[in-house]
Structure formats: structure tokens, C-alpha cells
Structure 1
Amino acid sequence: MCTSSAMLTVSTLSMLLLPQHILGVVGLEAARTCEPIRFDMCKGLGYNVTGMPNLAGQSDQQDAYLTLQHYNPLIQLGCSDQLKLFLCSVYVPMCSEKVLLLIGPCRPMCENVRKRCQPVLNRFGFPWPTDLDCSKFPPSNDQDHMCMDGPTEDDPTDTPKPYNPQNILGVAGVEAVRTCEPIRVDMCKGLGYNVMGMPNLVGQIDQQDAYLTLQHYNPLIQVGCSDQLKSFLCSVYVPMCSEKVLLPIGPCRPMCENVRKRCQPLLNEFGFAWPTDLDCSKFPPSNDHNGQPHVYQYERSYRGHPDPLQR
């Protein structure tokens, strides 16, 4: 027995393209007063005070914070090491009482980030946001214009690196389940079953460990590379449990292969290899009752939304 997914709603990067009435296009405007940066994402970047309105015309740090949250999937994917600094320099720009104007990013930093991150947006059908138009930022940090250069960024290497820390993801076979217990991980609720068993299919013995591991996949889930991704991950880390079956009920191989086909190209694009713990060859090829009934699969066919990667 093994599981395939129920239909899930694709989560995309559409919130990156925010309404224009929220993000106004403005030049470098004079900051009335400098104020401490109030949220963690933009702390520890080399400056600790900002001024409003910011370079997108927002007059409050709370608005800037809410805007920046929409960029989290892109930040977590790691398309550019400079992305967070660049975004903070636009939405939470540096402020100095000695300078009338806010200090935002230099154009080369913007162009460097755009070079690395725009292909990701384009792959999902989105243009580069107009509020991050590089042409409106100063070409260099000099006596005429003050701006942030940002650190240099190394070109990505061709050597794949593990997507998840190996000390978190153990490799284990399908093991016997002692008892079934209610699912406590919100992400894995509402998927057609409500009880699971430990150890899971990677050898973890506690739902908290499974939850922490699943958090590493949030960027991939939010990007929406496959409608089946969440169900697939949950069937591995929070597998279905039945008192009538001795072993945990994980995914079938076709479900794994379908998810890998859609999501592996995105991981490879950022230099990550497909996780060894999600090796499709270790899952059963079909949901049948021949031999040991060690897994179970929803028999529903894949009827998700069109895959963004297949545009």
C-alpha cells in the first residue's frame, strides 16, 4: 500500500507582484527623522537605523515588513546572497542625520540580484517588479550619490550540494509501527488521513523532528513546483498509520517520480541534488495487495493545477 495526493492548491510567487497602490514609485526622498530598525530580517546588515517614507513610498515600518514577507520564498531559495540586503535597502533604507536623503542600493547591486533572481520569477511567469527597477538607483557610491554597494557575490558552483542537512534527514527503511497517533503537524492535516505512526520512513521517532525537517521544504512548497509535493512529503515524514497494517503507509513510486520530475529541475537550478531520503526507487511501484502489504496509495489520478514549470 502507498499514498498518492489529493488535489492541492498551488502556492505561487504571485504575491511578489504587489498592488501598485501599495508600492509607489518614488525617488530618493528626504527622511524626516531616523528611527531604529524594528524587525529582525533587516537587522545585522551593517546599519541599524532607517527613515520613512522608504524608497517604495511606504510611510511605516509595519508596511515594509508586510511587503518583505512576500519575498520570503525567493530569499529562502537563495537565488542571490545579496537579495536580503538589497530588499532591506529598498524597503528599510539606511538613514543618517548627516545626510538629507535616504541611502538605498547602488545600481550594480540591484543588477547583480536581478541577474540571479529574475530567471526564477520568469520561470513562473512573473516579470521583475517595477519597484525594483535598477535604473532608478545611483550607478555608484560617490560624492554625488550615496548608496550601498553590498558585498561581492561568488558565482554559483556546478557541484550539487545536499538540499537538507544530513544530520536531520536519516536514511531508514520501512519499519514497523508500534502505535498510531493523531497528526500534530498542521501542514499534514486535511490530506485524507488523520493518524500517523512513528518511526517514519526516514527513521525519525517523534513528530517534532518530522515537523522541523518539513520546514526546510517550505520554500519549495510555496513556489508550487508540484501540487503533489506536500502530500508526498507528508506521506514520507508523517506516514499514514492503520491498526490493521503493521507497517507505515508511505508513497508509491509513481507519485515520487511525478514530484521529482517537476521539482528536481528547480533544486538543480540552485545547485541542490534531489535528497537521498526521497529516492523514488525505495518506494513500491504500485498500490496492490501482492506480497507484503507494507504501503498504501490513494488511487486517485493526478488532477492538480497545471505545473508552473511546464509553461
Structure 2
Amino acid sequence: MAFTAIILTMLFFVFESGTAGDSCGEIMVPMCRGLIGYTHTQLPNRLGHKHQRQVYRFLEPIWPFMDRGCSNNLRLFACGLTVPKCTTKGNTTEIELPCKETCFYSKKACSKDMKSLGMKWPRKLKCKGLKRKKQKKCLKPYPRLKKKRRPIYAYCQKNTFPMCQNLTFDIGTLPNMFHQSRETEILKELEQYQRLADSQCHDDLWFLICGVFRPYCIASNPFTLPCRELCEEVRGQCEATYRKLYGGLRWPAKLQCHRYPPASSQHTCVIPKDTALIKINN
């Protein structure tokens, strides 16, 4: 245990020191990690964030809009501005910010969605000062979608995510509570937790995470979430390890336990030992 603690502490300092200074550091914020086409960044950014903990707090309010897909460029723009692309060539470190068009497309497509939910486009997400894509050396926008991306409904389908196999329940439903329905995107987000799972902080970590990102389908309820009590138990045993492994970031917003129903509520929830519940087969 002492050796494991030493290793975790070393990893914490490696990731934390890699977020500020002259070198490129691994991107750890969950709304960007593995989802934007590059893996490393350098801080401080142009907004003055010195650590990814600050980036996380800044991006958290617009995370739902990234998942909802108001623009296929919002994630690239918001992440590109706060955790800009960092590459090292020899002794030279290069930083790339989003192109001005990446900003324009995101703002035009998402401002109305934000307004409809009582939120304004964040003041600090400015297009001013960004390069045009014709100038190169910036993160070019994806081609704009002609129509707003619609959810893909997958009602009580076999869960094919590799980390979600051999669980008590193997059938799930999409979209999830975060309006995510595309399996490729969800898988990339699930993969972020592999490092935490490898720490073996809790035996039922994957049961919780898989049930959050693809709610379980059981006979009485096709959209069944893990119980709050399980979430609280997993968080209690894994939160400190998460902070050490992920550069001091706080426990992810999507795993905040108040989101999930307690076992005593009228809403059905499940724990791994609920083997008496009838599974739905393909």
C-alpha cells in the first residue's frame, strides 16, 4: 500500500507540473480529454488559467452544450482556447489556438441554445485575436452541419463497450441523461476512467460508470440508473485516487451522486447484487 501511495503521489506531481511552464502536459479535463484530436497542452492559457483545475471549473457550465451537440465545433473551440494544442519539435514548443472561424461557427450555432436555457455565451470565449484558417497554424473548424444533429435512440440494446462486459446487466438505453447517444463519443469518455479502474479503488467502479453513461434496461424500467448509495460508496473509496491520478481535478460532475435516485425512492435504481431482477435479452 505504501508503494502504491508513493507511485500515485509521483503521478500527481508529473501531471500537475506538466500543466504549467514551458513543456507540454497531458490533457486531463474530462470534457476535452480524448475528444478533440490532440492530447497535450500548455498552461497558462490566454484566459489566465494556470492549472487544469481552473479550466475544469470554467468549462463545466458549457459541458452539457458540448454533449448536446448544438455545434460540432463547440468542444474543439472551447477546449482549444482553454487547453490549446501543444507540440514539441526538438527544443521548440508550438502552441495552436482555434481558428477564428471555429469560434464563429460555435457561437452562431450555440448562442440560441444557451439563451433558451437562460445562459449567455460566456464573455471570455472571444473570437477576437484568433487567426483566420487561411493563415494556418490554428485549429481549423469541422465542416458545419446543415442540420442540427439529432439524437440516436437505441432502446434496450446490447451494451458493447468493452469495459461494460460481464456486469450484472448487459442491456442499456441511449441517449443517456447527458443527451449523449453516439457510442464512439461515449466510449472515448469511458476510456478516461481506465486509469482509475486500474487502481482497483472499488470493485464496482465500472458498474457505476457504465450505468451512468448507458442506463441499464430491466423489465420494469428501460432507463435504470445506479443507486445513489452505490455512487457514494464508490466516490468515498475512489475520489482521493482520482485526484492523484488526474492532476488534482475534482470528482467528475457526471458522477456527482445527487444525480442518482436513492434505493428508497419511487424511481427504480440498481446495484450489482440485484440479480433477482429479470434481464431483458436481445
Which category of TM-score, normalised to the shorter sequence, fits these structures?
0.3 to 0.5
> What's the TM-score, normalizing by structure 2?
0.46
Greater share of strand:
2
The higher radius of gyration belongs to 1
> What's the TM-score, normalizing by structure 1?
0.42
